[in-house]
Amino acid sequence: AKEQGDSIYHFYDQMIENQRSENMKLENSLRSALLTGQFSLNYQPKIDAHTGRISGAEALIRWLHPAYGFVPPDKFIPLAETSGIIMDIDEWVVTEACRQNKVWQEQGLPRFPIAVNLSARHFYQGNLIGMISRVLKKTRLDPRDLILEITEGSLIKSAEYVIKVMADLRAMGITISLDDFGTGYSSLSQLQRLPIHEMKLDRSFIQGLAHDPKKSAIVRAVIELGHHMELNIVAEGIESQEELHYLRNLKCDQFQGYLFSGPLREKEFARFVKQWNGSKWL
């Protein structure tokens, strides 16, 4: 029995060891991906519910690995977060997104803010204010044209420090958006304490809401609550006309989802903006 036990432990050790070396490999690949330009950004339009106009774009990272092809962010962002390389990836993303927004402005596209996803780590360690100021200066983007999306579930400790950093960003003119709202477990106390401007209702609440009385009750209540707190409410993951219709009746402020467009490369996005006819959605 002892022998069998030993071999099981050996097996587990081996598994953990393999996992560890897999993670190391991925970490090294992420590092070289940054250095060799394997990352790019796609942009997904956001639509203003009241005017039908394009109200912004969310930048979403894409990794084209030379051997594995496209690796989805859900696969590498979590590991990038545990390994710390997320700090460098996010800085690259913010820089690239701000640079691109400035280019669009200079090309004469209608002005809109660009939204970037940030790991919660930035709010706990490192110098977020310094990094953002540096990027804005370098790219000459107006801080009002930048939105930072932060995942609600990741802000478990809404410490004084986090609140202070958010307040500083806000004072600079930057918009803070609480992403994936409803998926964390401290939502309401967060809402009360954090100096945010916007919340994004998680896709899981949007999909099929017209046929699900519980979902629609939650969405209705959250939108009402958000409005009382003077927050801008964005619904993400809208795929059907029916969902759109329902959310419009609930007075949601902005829409995002495949119904309008998936994430696009920069040129496609510019084309999309130019041919966009908002009146057909009003």
Residues making contact with ligand C2E (CB under 6 A): 44, 60-61, 72-74, 77, 90, 93, 117-119, 179-180, 203, 236-239, 257-258, 263
The least CB distance from residue 169 to ligand C2E, in Å, is: 16
Between 93 and 141, name the residue whose CB sits nearer to Ca ion. 93
The least CB distance from residue 74 to Ca ion, in Å, is: 8
Q: Are 94 and 135 in contact (CB under 8 A)?
A: yes
The least CB distance from residue 272 to ligand C2E, in Å, is: 14
Q: Determine how β-strand 54-65 pairs with β-strand 69-71.
A: antiparallel
Between 74 and 160, name the residue whose CB sits nearer to ligand C2E. 74
Between 117 and 190, name the residue whose CB sits nearer to Ca ion. 117
Q: How far apart are the C-alpha atoms of 281 and 268, rounded to whole Å?
A: 20
Between 7 and 241, name the residue whose CB sits nearer to ligand C2E. 241
CA distances from 198 to 29, 61, 133, 158 (A): 35, 21, 21, 17
Q: Are 256 and 248 in contact (CB under 8 A)?
A: no
Residue 159 φ/ψ, nearest 5 degrees: -65, 160
The least CB distance from residue 24 to Ca ion, in Å, is: 26
Task: Give the closest residue to 219 by CA, choosing from 211, 151, 50.
Answer: 211
Euclidean distance between the first and final Cα of the chain, in Å?
A: 72
The least CB distance from residue 73 to ligand C2E, in Å, is: 3
Tokens (6 digits) for 76: 């590498």
- Work out what residue 77 binds among ligand C2E, Ca ion, none; the CB cut-off runs from 5 to 8 Å by kind: ligand C2E
The least CB distance from residue 201 to Ca ion, in Å, is: 9
Alpha helices in 36-127 (DSSP H): 73-83, 86-106, 121-124
Between 96 and 179, name the residue whose CB sits nearer to Ca ion. 179
Q: Are 92 and 37 in contact (CB under 8 A)?
A: no
For residue 251, the one-letter residue type is: K
Between 14 and 40, name the residue whose CB sits nearer to ligand C2E. 40
The per-residue b/e assignment along 242-268, b for 16 or more CB within 10 angstroms, e otherwise, is ebbebbeebebbbbbbebbbebbebee
- Work out what residue 172 binds among ligand C2E, Ca ion, none; the CB cut-off runs from 5 to 8 Å by kind: none
Q: Which residues bind Ca ion (CB under 5 A)?
A: 117, 149, 179-180
The least CB distance from residue 86 to ligand C2E, in Å, is: 6
Q: Based on C-alpha coordinates, what's the Rg of the chain?
A: 21
- Work out what residue 60 binds among Ca ion, ligand C2E, none; the CB cut-off runs from 5 to 8 Å by kind: ligand C2E
Between 1 and 27, name the residue whose CB sits nearer to ligand C2E. 27
- Work out what residue 61 binds among Ca ion, ligand C2E, none; the CB cut-off runs from 5 to 8 Å by kind: ligand C2E
